[in-house]
Amino acid sequence: MRARRAPEAVTHAPTIESLLDEERSFPPPPAFREHALVRDEGVYEEAAADPEGFWSGLARELLWTRPWGKVLEWDPPHAKWFVGGRLNVSENCVGRHARGPRRDKPALVWEGEPGDERTLTYAELSREVNRMANALRSLGVRKGDRVAIYMPMVPEIAVAMLACAHVGAIHSVVFGGFSAQALASRIQDAGARLVVTADGGWRRGNVVPLKATVDEALASCPTVERVIVLRRTGKDVPMAPGRDAWWHDVVPQQPDHAQAEPMDAEDPLFTLYTSGTTGKPKGVLHTTGGYLTGVYATTKMVFDLKEDDVYFCTADCGWVTGHSYVVYGPLSNGATVVMYEGSPDFPDKARFWDLIQRRGVTIFYTAPTAIRQFMSWGEEWPRRHDLSSLRLLGTVGEPINPEAWTWYHRAIGGGRCPVVDTWWQTETGMIMITTLPGVDAARPGFAGRPFPGVEADVLDEEGKPVTSPHEGGYLVLRRPWPAMFRTLWNDDARYQSEYWSRFPGAYFPKDGAKRDRGYYMILGRVDDVIKVAGHRIGTMEVESALVSHPAVAEAAVIGKHDAIKGEAIVAYVIPRGGAQVSEQELRDHVVKALGAIARPERVIVTPDLPKTRSGKIMRRLLRDVAEGRPAGDATTLADPAVVERLRRSFGESP
């Protein structure tokens, strides 16, 4: 596969270019450092000298029912971690805490968007997970079966995930913002037998009709035998007799104890679909022992997690951040996790700050998009609340511009909280590049250093390390790490070719990067994937959605720089001979195919696209037009006038 954008060309934000001159550095505040779990710089050297020893030391903090033999079996590009070991993820995240001194400690502190609240202690969460595990078994779910979860952010989504882990079923959580078609294709690819959903969820005062979407999807999903429906909104939904069952009819009466399935360290835990360069999403497969070790260790060390912390990660469980840093990482550590269902501006723009104040949140983890949104709403919203309980802030999902970083540090963190900028991916499962807040200084614009035991590099086109801090290159990871994905569901060939062939022997995450004194600056994707509000959207997926419209002959989709969302989707569409189609209709068509998260900001209907004489669409010029820049070199164009015509169409209001 060839990268579409050279790493030098992905720097949309002009600020990034000047970053290397950015000498601001924020060392750990002495008071923070003094109490930090990791204070000793030596951890990096120790882990580098003996990575397997480092990881197995952390794995030993988990509960295993059979010890492993070999720590790592590396048959590139396939890894096995903790070979022969047995453990159950639900037992590690819930059961063992419920049986010990944490039994009455709040595990999930949840707030619904309308203002309803629920707290589950570890003992209560354990009871719920065991009952749901029994319910799954009573409906025929067995080890290795796939279960799709399409739910709002309510405690039951975590219960459903953990119950799958309890019985050894492989869950596939699909974000509630995906459309029926997108849900159906994920269910079909995984071959799910059962779906867990809800009558709806609350978002900005409206009901998201999850059950209706499931009904539509299931018309084309013959593998699904049963559906469990949680009553959340109380709105009427049709129930298919023999197929659909209410959660409250099948779960509460179950026995409080269910035998946890003994799982091999390499048994699958979940698949999670993510966008790539083709029209077809990829089912990223994570397994049990290595994944749990990776998320357990990084949650503890990156967030400096202590017994009394109140931890709030704003991610939805539909994304990997929700898997690793709402559910599995924090719960395996026995933490108190705050969970919120809805929108940050409901009922007003201080919802998060109100929540932090009332719950005494100490660790807050969110996305740059959200931070830029808070900035644009104005500092008066956080200022009205007492945020002094906070002691650590984190960010994830896309590069954070130094302006947003410093605003976050000052307006939310009061200038006293370290900020960890965490780089990782659905595929890596765990945080890979960041700072350890009690050891490393943070440098705005830089994610930081490879986590202990992780080895990264920056390579040029030929695969040679880039040594100058002023040159960009391709980020790679050099050695296996426990939480790495093991393959793509049903597609090991794609796993090998997409990630491991560009630079032999190294994992290629498809991000550009620069490196300065051991610190990595992430420059963004170098493939046909764009990041819209931190979410990965494959431009090919949007293009295939567009060409599935009868009036569309050809489509080209690009990401345009957006001050809040990072990137916004812009589509250029050539209609079929003589066909009339409006921008709005095509936008709706994409939403129907993929979901609201992929709604293009603009769809430009145009008679032609800038192509080279050999017929290749010049996307760079499409980005120039969308971003209002003078077009770059257009000399290879078959028809140079096209760009001017596009510029005029772009200027016309939608």
Where along the sequence are the contacts to ligand WT7 (CB under 6 A)? Answer: 274, 319-321, 396-399, 421-426, 447, 509, 511, 522, 524-525, 531, 536
Q: Which is nearer to ligand WT7, 86 or 536 (CB)?
A: 536
Residue 84 · residue 69 · CB < 8 Å: yes
Spatial separation of the C-alpha atoms in residues 207 and 233, rounded to whole Å: 7
325/320 Cα distance (integer angstroms): 8
Smallest distance, ligand WT7 to C-beta of residue 5, A: 12
**Min CB(602)–ligand WT7 separation in Å:** 23
Q: How far is the CB of 496 from ligand WT7 (least distance, A)?
A: 19
Closest contact distance (angstroms) between CB of 541 and ligand WT7 is 13
Give the phi and the psi of residue 651 in degrees, each rounded to 5. Answer: -70, -25
Q: Quote the DSSP letter at residue 94.
A: I
- Please report how close the Cβ of residue 237 comes to ligand WT7 at its closest, in angstroms: 30
Q: What angle do CA 150, 152, 158 make, to 5 degrees?
A: 80
**Distance of closest approach, residue 523 Cβ to ligand WT7, in angstroms:** 8
In whole angstroms, the minimum distance from the beta carbon of 60 to ligand WT7 comes to 27
**SS3 at position 530:** strand
Q: Are strands 226-230 and 201-203 parallel, antiparallel or unpaired?
A: unpaired
Residue number with CB closer to ligand WT7 (275 or 287): 275
Residue tagged 């951040």 (tokens): 321
Q: Which residue is nearest to ligand WT7 (CB)?
A: 426
Which of residues 305 and 396 has its CB atom nearest to ligand WT7 in the complex? 396
Contact criterion met (CB below 8 Å) for 202 and 214: no
What's the number of CA atoms in the CB half-sphere (13 Å) around residue 398?
29
Question: Which residue lies nearer to ligand WT7 by CB, 111 or 421?
Answer: 421
* Cα–Cα dist 317/296, whole Å: 17
Distance CA 87, CA 51 (A): 21
- Smallest distance, Å, CB 396 to ligand WT7? 5
User: What ranges make up the beta strands (E) of 376-435?
Assistant: 392-396, 419-422, 433-434
Min dist. Cβ of residue 38 to ligand WT7 (A): 19
First to last CA, the chain: 35
**In which order are the strands placed within the sheet that holds 170-173?**
244-246, 226-230, 194-198, 146-150, 170-173, 268-274, 282-287, 487-488
119/128 Cα distance (integer angstroms)? 12
Q: Report, in Å, the least distance between residue 483 CB and ligand WT7.
A: 12
**Helix intervals (H) in 333-476:** 351-359, 368-377, 380-383, 402-407
Q: How far is the CB of 439 from ligand WT7 (least distance, A)?
A: 18
| Distance separating alpha carbons of residues 156 and 532, to the nearest angstrom | 28
Q: Which is nearer to ligand WT7, 209 or 397 (CB)?
A: 397
Q: How far is the CB of 531 from ligand WT7 (least distance, A)?
A: 6
Helix (H), strand (E) at residue 182: helix 180-190
CA distances from 582 to 491, 573, 579, 589, 642 (A): 38, 11, 10, 11, 20
Nearer to ligand WT7, 443 or 589 (CB): 443
> What stretch of H or E contains 544?
helix 539-547
Q: Distance between CA 647 and CA 536 in Å, rounded?
A: 27
Judged by CB, which is closer to ligand WT7: 407, or 423?
Answer: 423
Question: Vertex 99, ends 93 and 101: CA angle to 5°?
Answer: 95
CB 125 within 8 A of CB 105: no
C-alpha distances in Å from residue 621, one per residue of 58, 231, 654: 49, 50, 20
Closest to ligand WT7 by CB, 11 vs 422, is 422
Tokens read off for 115: 């203002």
Could you tell me the smallest distance in angstroms from the CB atom of residue 384 to ligand WT7?
Answer: 29
Question: Looking at beta carbons only, is 170 or 523 nearer to ligand WT7?
Answer: 523
Nearest alpha-carbon partner for 401 in 563, 601, 173, 619: 563
Answer yes or no: are the C-beta atoms of 227 and 195 closer than 8 Å. Answer: yes
128 vs 457, beta carbon nearer ligand WT7: 457
Nearer to ligand WT7, 120 or 477 (CB): 477
* Comparison of 36 and 447: residue with beta carbon closer to ligand WT7: 447
Nearest residue (CB) to ligand WT7, 121 versus 426:
426
- The 10 Å Cβ neighbour count of residue 131 is 21
Question: For ligand WT7, which is the closer residue by CB, 215 or 421?
Answer: 421
